[in-house]
Amino acid sequence: MELYEAIRGRRSVRQFQDRPVEQERLERILDAALWAPSAHNAQAWRFTVARGETKRAIERAMVEAAEGAEARGESLPGFKATARLVGAAPVLIAAFHFRSEPILLRETYALRELLLLSAQIQSVAAAIENLLLAAHAEGLGAVWIGYTNLIAARLKEILGEDGFPVAAVALGYPRQAPPAPERKPRPERVVLRGA
């Protein structure tokens, strides 16, 4: 698949076939993630693959957290639906930053540390994008999930991780190809300055 075709053709897939993802495909996708640009070449990421009962435990933890938020009157649109999506996807890949303590942006951080943390989180995000594009090139569908951060402690416990969870990706064979979303006009999103 040509690069620009992959970029324009990739979609956020939220409905999956009940079909396992072959190990060889999964390994190629994870290799693509590991080749992402990395600030200071720290490669400050770790990807943990969850399937079967492990993935179902994550789904249950998300449903419990979503129901708890509802009971408190907190509006988190899509949280419970995303939990069910995690349960339906054959694979969930959790992306972690290697730092174990929570990353809080606060004034007490020295500027150097703040810049380093920010750059490393951006590196993990770049690796996730590589993963999404590789999944599409492999004929799979995927969706980037941020709601897993709302169960960070439980997610780490279930997966036996000690890093900081950045996001997760649900992955599998798509049930259908979603249509291309409308894009805002480039002049509204791109500004050219200078010669």
75 or 74, greater pLDDT: 74
pLDDT band at 82 (very low <50, low <70, confident <90, very high): very high
Residue 144 host element (H or E):
strand 141-145
Residue 113: pLDDT over 80: no
Region 162-187: what's the mean pLDDT?
92
Residue 1: pLDDT over 90: no
Region 91-120: what's the mean pLDDT?
74
Residue-range definition of the domain harbouring residue 44 = 9-175
Could you give the number of structural domains in the chain?
Answer: 1
DSSP single-letter state for residue 109: S
pLDDT tens readout for residues 127-164: 999 999 999 999 999 999 999 999 999 999 999 998 88
In a domain, 142, yes or no: yes
Q: What is the mean pLDDT of the chain?
A: 91
Confidence at residue 116, expressed as pLDDT on a 0 to 100 scale: 77
In a domain, 57, yes or no: yes
Q: Are 37 and 44 in contact (CB under 8 A)?
A: no
Write the CATH number for 58. 3.40.109.10
**How many residues are given for the chain?**
195
In a domain, 183, yes or no: no
How many whole angstroms separate alpha carbon 69 and alpha carbon 61? 12
In a domain, 151, yes or no: yes
pLDDT band at 105 (very low <50, low <70, confident <90, very high): low
Confidence at residue 98, expressed as pLDDT on a 0 to 100 scale: 79
In a domain, 180, yes or no: no
Confidence at residue 107, expressed as pLDDT on a 0 to 100 scale: 58
